Amino acid sequence: MHPEAEHAAMKRLLEENHKLLEENNRLLRKLHRNALIGIWMRVIGYSLFIGLPILIYVYVLEPYLAGMGQSVDSLMFQLEALPNFEVIEQYLPSQPQ
């Protein structure tokens, strides 16, 4: 081969290699960007999956449950104030056996 033909072939191969490298670099950047977006979407998704029920409990359900707890406490206090079954048996007439 002549040196000029060799030089032209080498130059053509280098240009083709350069184009392939640029295309490869573009594809790698896209893959990296998509991987980062996927990671952040997963983090946001899991945060919502875990955090949303907690927020709903704290801001929506907890006030109702706290009020219900106070009602249960007052009911228990009132039940404790009632006389025991043994005290009631004293006032009932005894049945013959």
- pLDDT of 87 reads 67
pTM: 0.54
Instruction: Tell me if 84 is assigned to some domain.
Output: yes
- Give the total number of structural domains in the chain: 1
Cβ neighbours of residue 1 under 8 Å, at least 6 residues apart?
9
Containing 84, the helix (H) or strand (E) segment is: none
pLDDT-based confidence at 58, cuts 50/70/90? confident
Instruction: Tell me if 51 is assigned to some domain.
Output: yes
pLDDT-based confidence at 57, cuts 50/70/90? confident
Domain with 30, as residue range(s), is 3-89
Both tokens assigned to 73: 């406490």
Mean residue pLDDT of the chain comes to 85
Instruction: Tell me if 94 is assigned to some domain.
Output: no
